[in-house]
């Protein structure tokens, strides 16, 4: 056997708010491989997430192959739009959903991990963060604010996290994120500057792999996942059409599962992926390799405006 073994490793998965998306699947794969897992959740979603856990609403999803339940070592509040707490406007810091969650900035979470676990507490940092407030707007209609918000939260947040968590990472650590092929091809309906954010994320992955590799000895990669109908992805508005279209036109004509993305993340974060850095790994049933559609799902129209 050649196992994926993360025993003795600690992972932080930033961007988990329910059990239906890639972030949860990644966290579960890490746990299946033996790692202890911390997660970071957007403050407005934190109480809902905690209540779902406490009431057993996610117990079925949390079952691991050995019959035990996935448990999170810590659950932190994180708003990746803010590098330090002082960056957050007063009305945000004092709002109902933020005022009782301590320091929810990227630096705040880094500081809390050091307080909880010591100076170098982390082996795996996984970035599952994206937000485009104007994602339904085509590029010709997106505002400067909407565009910059998409790039800031979805791409610069990775840079900020590597800056602040780099000193906390143990030798041989792995940093990974999630991207989408709209970074390199036009996807009508995936708007609001999100395509630009994903392009920036992939470029930053290459640069960070060099800089963080030389400075901290860590690997930096990104997974380009195919479309998946998570609750977060529903904000796009056409996610079901995207899923059906890609399933119909991929070399493997079937829907992607979140588990497949999670397993890839576990591989990249293990010693089996020790030679991989600065790379975009496609997990999309091969759709990225296609240059022409071969089928249209029954009852669907082209995705153009």
List active site positions: 180, 190
Q: At what angle do helices 258-269 and 22-32 cross, to 10 degrees?
A: 50
DSSP letter at 252 equals S
- 250-131-54 Cα angle (round to 5): 95
CA dist., res. 175 & res. 208, Å (int): 10
* H runs (alpha helix) in the chain: 22-32, 43-54, 59-62, 90-93, 106-117, 144-151, 157-165, 194-216, 239-249, 258-269
Whole-angstrom CA distances from 231 to 21, 31, 76, 110, 240 are 7, 23, 20, 27, 11
CA dist., res. 126 & res. 147, Å (int): 24
CA dist., res. 117 & res. 136, Å (int): 41
* DSSP class per residue in 185-199: S--TT--TTHHHHHH
CA dist., res. 159 & res. 117, Å (int): 23
CA dist., res. 58 & res. 43, Å (int): 19
């Amino acid at each position: 056997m050649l196992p994926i073994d993360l025993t003795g490793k600690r992972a932080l998965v930033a961007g988990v708010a329910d059990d239906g998306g890639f972030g949860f699947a990644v966290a579960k794969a890490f746990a299946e491989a033996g790692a202890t897992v911390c997660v970071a959740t957007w403050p407005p979603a934190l109480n809902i997430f905690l209540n779902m856990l406490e009431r057993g609403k996610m117990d079925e999803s949390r079952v691991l192959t050995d019959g035990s339940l996935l448990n999170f070592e810590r659950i932190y509040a994180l708003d990746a739009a803010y590098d330090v707490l002082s960056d957050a406007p007063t009305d945000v810091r004092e709002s109902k959903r933020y005022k009782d969650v301590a320091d929810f900035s990227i630096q705040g979470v880094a500081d809390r991990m050091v307080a909880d676990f010591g100076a170098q507490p982390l082996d795996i940092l996984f970035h599952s963060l994206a937000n485009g407030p104007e994602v339904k707007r085509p590029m010709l209609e997106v505002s400067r604010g909407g565009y910059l918000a998409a790039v800031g939260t979805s791409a610069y947040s990775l840079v900020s996290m590597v800056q602040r968590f780099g000193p906390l990472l143990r030798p041989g650590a792995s940093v990974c994120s999630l991207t989408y092929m709209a970074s390199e091809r036009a996807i009508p309906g995936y708007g609001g500057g999100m395509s630009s954010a994903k392009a920036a994320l992939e470029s930053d992955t290459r640069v960070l792999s060099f800089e963080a590799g030389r400075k901290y000895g860590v690997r930096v990669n990104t997974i380009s996942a195919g479309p998946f109908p998570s609750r977060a992805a529903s904000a796009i508005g056409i996610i079901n059409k995207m899923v059906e279209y890609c399933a119909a036109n991929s070399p493997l004509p079937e829907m992607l599962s979140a588990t497949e993305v999670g397993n890839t993340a576990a591989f990249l974060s293990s010693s089996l992926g020790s030679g991989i850095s600065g790379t975009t790994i496609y997990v999309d049933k091969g759709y990225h390799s296609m240059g022409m559609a071969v089928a249209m799902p029954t009852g669907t129209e082209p995705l153009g405006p």
